[in-house]
Amino acid sequence: MIEPGCLNQGHPCRATTLVTLSFLFFTLVFFSSFTNAFSSSVYPELNPVKPRHSRLLRSAVQRETPASQLSELWSPLESQGWKPYVEPNKPTALPEKSEGYIQVFLDGGLNQQRMGICDAVAVAKILNATLVIPYLELNPVWRDSSSFMDIFDVDHFIDVLKDDISIVKELPGEYSWSTREYYGLAIRETRIKAAPVHASAHWYLENVLPVLQSYGIAAISPFSHRLSFDNLPMDIQHLRCKVNFEALIFVPHIRTLGDALISHLRYPDGSAGQMGYNDLQEVTGAGASKNAGKFVVLHLRFDKDMAAHSACDFGGGKAEKLALAKYRQVIWQGRVLNSQFTDEELRSQGRCPMTPEEVGLLLAALGFDNSTRLYLASHKVYGGEARISTLRELFPLMEDKKSLASSDQRAQIKGKASLLAALDYYVGLHSDIFISASPGNMHNALVGHRTYLNLKTIRPNMALMGQLFLNKTIEWSEFQDAVIEGHQNRQGQLRIRKPKQSIYTYPAPDCMCQA
Q: Which letter, b or e, does each residue of 82-108 get, where b requires 16 or more Cβ atoms within 10 Å of its Cβ?
A: bebbeeeeeeeeeeeebbbbbbbbbbb
Closest CA to 362 of 113, 136, 53: 53
CA-to-CA dists, residue 249 to 154, 155, 445, angstroms: 9, 10, 14
Q: Beta strands 130-132 and 82-84: pairing type? A: unpaired
Residues of the chain with pLDDT under 50: 1-41, 275-283, 285-288
Residue 76 DSSP code:
P
Q: For position 346, what pLDDT does the model report?
A: 94
Q: For position 335, what pLDDT does the model report?
A: 79
pTM: 0.88
Question: Domain extents for the chain?
Answer: 54-79+251-302+353-514, 101-247
CB 6 within 8 A of CB 13: yes
Q: For position 338, what pLDDT does the model report?
A: 80
Closest CA to 137 of 119, 157, 121, 117: 117
Q: Beta strands 512-514 and 82-84: pairing type? A: antiparallel
Q: For position 282, what pLDDT does the model report?
A: 45
Question: CA neighbours within 13 Å on the CB side: how many for 160?
Answer: 20
What is the Cα–Cα distance from 184 to 182, expressed in whole angstroms? Answer: 5
- Residue 509 phi/psi, 5° resolution? -100, -5
Residue 59 DSSP code:
H
CA-to-CA dists, residue 148 to 89, 143, 180, 249, angstroms: 30, 15, 15, 11
Q: For position 291, what pLDDT does the model report?
A: 67
